Amino acid sequence: MNKSGIYLHIPFCKTKCIYCDFYSVTKRDDSIDKFVNCMVKEIKLNKNRLESTIFDTIFFGGGTPSVLTENQLENILNTLYENFNIDKKVEITLECNPGEITFEKLTHFRKIGINRLSIGFQSFSEKNLKFLGRLHSSKQSISTFNHARKAGFDNINIDLIYDIPKQKIKDWKDDLFLGTSLEPEHISAYSLTVEKNTVLHSMVKNKTAIMPSEEIDKKMFLSTISYLEQKNYIHYEISNFSKKNKECAHNLHYWRLEPYLAFGPGAHGFDGKKRWWNKKSIDYYINQIDQNILPIEFEETLSKKDSFNETIMNGLRLIEGAKIQKLDSLINQNLENYIDSFTEKWPYINNNGKNLSLNKKGLLFADEIIADLFLI
């Protein structure tokens, strides 16, 4: 039986970080109870999707999902178990922010079945945290992590960001040192990206913030790989590193273009052929669900070309690469000849007969290589 994931988007935040382009709302705590009731209803309305599937991952993302109470999260989880075939060894991840979740709440979350945390450290530098619009301190990051351990969490990811304006390579190495000293099972190390419709985008456009050079970005990226591998972390995706057997199983569904269900405003779902997404509006979401109408804004069936391009786009982010057999089934020409036509320009492409992947240097040019390999 096929295995898939379930994503639940909880859009509530205390404040909006300057770099974030995910759908979120602030000062809407009065809507949380109604929102949870609607999410429960949305789950029930979708109970017939992916019927012949076992769901082995559940991911609460946001926003800040930890704003929900134990009872609200348990209500959502119970509804999932009642309507879908959930694997007994399911990975259940909850995103949270340092300083915004108590030890008592962490203990309750562990008791109701949350077994993986993703904590948004972002940096140990107070200056960088302030620049990014984060509300917590470095001390609160460490305290939240220690509380999570004490509450029984033995699978924890921490998010860290590099390529921050005025950040030096030494500053980033200090972050890596402090992060690894906590011995989390997983580290997501992201290069700060300037997304449209964010405060950061306006700052860069107005030249009130200057992003580091491409050369510095590459040095930070390579130093990240080198340092974390020395600390026995496995580099399994461009921005993700884990201890053995501690990869994020949920995100692997995305990168391998496997089916997943998604609930909440702005959430994207995929059944293996068709993709759909909900409108990014909590008010629209609540109004539609109240009328027993799914809040879907758009849906599309992927063509073979679309599937090929998405397999390339996501698969080449993985160190294991994209499966040759899958790519071959999606292209109307000889795959080997097609790939060979790019190897002179990009000698960093590896083809071992089973997977198409990029070597370490190729990862530096992943976006350009992926764009070139797209079928037009």
Q: Report the CATH number at residue 318.
A: 1.10.10
Please state the domain count of the chain: 2
For residue 100, is it within any domain? yes
pLDDT on residue 331? 93
Both 62 and 201 in one domain: the answer is: yes
Region 269-283 average pLDDT:
96
Q: What is the pLDDT of residues 203-262, one digit of tens each?
A: 999 999 999 999 999 999 999 999 999 999 999 999 999 999 999 999 999 999 999 999
Strands 156-162 and 53-62: unpaired
Handedness of CA 196, 200, 202, 207 (dihedral sign): negative
pTM of this structure: 0.95
Residue 77 pLDDT more than 80? Answer: yes
Check whether 1 has a pLDDT greater than 90. Answer: no
Do 319 and 251 reside in the same domain of the chain? Answer: no
Residues 192 and 331 occupy one common structural domain? no
In this prediction, residue 209 carries a pLDDT of 94
Domain shared by 11 and 94, yes or no: yes
Q: Where in the sequence is the domain holding 170, given as residue range(s)?
A: 2-255
Give pLDDT, residue 51.
87
CA separation for the pair 158, 181 (Å, rounded): 12
Same domain, 210 and 63: yes
Domain membership of residue 138 (yes or no) is yes
**In this structure, are 78 and 146 located in the same domain?**
yes
What percent of the chain is helix, strand and coil (3-state, nearest 5)? 40, 25, 35
Residue 318 DSSP label: B
pLDDT for the residue 376:
86
Q: Give me the mean pLDDT over the 259-282 stretch.
A: 97
> Is 288 inside a domain boundary?
no
- Using pLDDT thresholds of 50, 70 and 90, give the confidence band for residue 104: very high
The tokens of 298 are what? 């758009």
- Domain contains 276: no
**Residues 47 and 182 grouped into a single domain:** yes
pLDDT at 279: 97
Of 173, 283, 282, 161, which Cα lies nearest the Cα of 211? 161
Strand residue runs (E) in the chain = 2-10, 12-13, 25-26, 53-62, 86-96, 116-122, 156-162, 186-191, 234-237, 240-242, 260-263, 268-270, 274-278, 296-301, 322-323, 349-351, 355-358
Q: What is the CATH number of the domain that holds 119?
A: 3.20.20.70
- Report the pLDDT averaged over residues 309-338: 96
